[in-house]
Amino acid sequence: MPKLRVLFLVGLIAGVTFGGVALRAEPARDDQTRATFLLLLTKYVTWPDNAFSSPSAPIVVAVVGNPRLAATLESLATDQKVAGRGFDIRAVPDASATSGAHLVFVDESQSGALASASPLRITEDPQKLASTDIAIRLEGDRVAFAVNRKDVSRRGLKLSSKLLKLASSFE
């Protein structure tokens, strides 16, 4: 990937997540905004030592019930690395197919599937925050998110304090 494109992508990711780059909230851009947030989020997560089979094993991201988002993630993740790890993006029909994933995303219509998922669980349904780790909501050109800190900690995941400072409440 050309260096300029990488720098643009990194800037876009940081801006969408932390600064609110002026993206239009068109449906075609929504998946790109979600995908960008998910990829950047992996930089701020520490999984338990036994979560990966080797130091270079990829970060497996499972997207439940939304193949279009999975395709967008795949496109953005090409040649990207976090802590020396690439990405393995999987479009899966339900939570039973998320075995081996490090991050699972389900949209509002599938959020009930999260109860059985064991990796970092993310949904767009703020009503499901009690049974997941992170709930996100698109707010125009930004991504707002809330974190279930107790559940994240109980399952051995660690989120960066920088990320936690940016979390909000949907109340």
pLDDT for 108 equals 63
Q: Is the pLDDT of residue 19 over 50?
A: no
What pLDDT does residue 18 have? 45
Both tokens of residue 49?
């030592």
Supply the pLDDT for residue 75: 95
Residue from 166, 165, 149 nearest 157 by CA: 149
Report the percent of the chain where pLDDT is more than 70: 75
Is the sign of the CA dihedral 34, 39, 45, 50 positive or negative?
positive
The predicted pLDDT at position 28 comes to 54
Going along the chain from its start, the domains and CATH numbers come out as 3-166 (3.40.50)
- What is the tens place of the pLDDT at every residue in 104-152? 998 765 555 555 556 898 988 778 787 788 999 988 778 899 998 888 8
Interhelix angle 3-14/27-41, rounded to 10 degrees, is 90
Which string of DSSP letters, residue by residue, matches 101-167? -SEEEE-GGGGGGGGG--SEEEES-GGGGGGSSEEEEEETTEEEEEE-HHHHHHTT-EE-HHHHHH-
Q: Which amino acid belongs to residue 165? A: K
Q: 153 CB contacts (<8 Å, ≥6 apart)?
A: none
pLDDT tens-digit map of 23-39: 344 555 788 999 999 99
Q: Is the pLDDT of residue 165 over 80?
A: yes
- pLDDT of 170 > 70? The answer is no
The pTM score is 0.78
